[in-house]
């Protein structure tokens, strides 16, 4: 699993950019406002995808707290209910 996690974030960002580029090229040159809107929203979307995907990958790669042994096992006490 660790082999491909490094590629998830850039690949998702590039795929989103290619989709937005395709939509951008489908819009007529006679609609500059619409083309600008698609370009700006595509760039903002790509940035959000990059940030969110990098955080999700970091969460996936982080070890669980239950996997770590207690720091000092001699201080752990278990009490039964009275």
Judge whether 72 lies within some domain: no
Does residue 76 belong to any structural domain of this protein?
no
Confidence of residue 70 (pLDDT cuts 50, 70, 90): low
- C-alpha distance across the termini of the chain, in Å: 47
Note whether residue 74 is domain-resident. Answer: no
The answer as to whether 75 is a domain residue is no
Q: Residue 70 falls within a domain, yes or no?
A: no
Domain that holds residue 47: 5-63
50 found inside a domain = yes
- Banded model confidence at residue 54, pLDDT cuts 50, 70, 90: very high
Evaluate whether residue 69 is within a structural domain. no
Structure tokens at 24: 């951008």
By mean pLDDT, which of 7-16, 36-45, 59-68 is the weakest? 59-68
The b/e string for 16-38 (b: 16+ C-beta within 10 A; e otherwise) is: beeebeeeeeebeeeeeeebeeb
In the chain, the number of structural domains is 1
The secondary structure of residue 76, as a DSSP letter, is -
């Amino acid at each position: 699993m660790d082999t491909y996690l490094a590629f998830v974030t850039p690949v998702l960002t590039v795929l989103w950019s290619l989709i937005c580029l395709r939509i951008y090229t489908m819009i007529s040159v006679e609609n500059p406002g619409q083309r600008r809107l698609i370009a700006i929203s595509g760039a903002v979307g790509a940035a959000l995808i990059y940030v969110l995907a990098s955080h999700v990958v970091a969460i996936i790669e982080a070890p669980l707290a239950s996997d770590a042994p207690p720091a000092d096992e001699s201080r752990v006490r278990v009490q039964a209910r009275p």
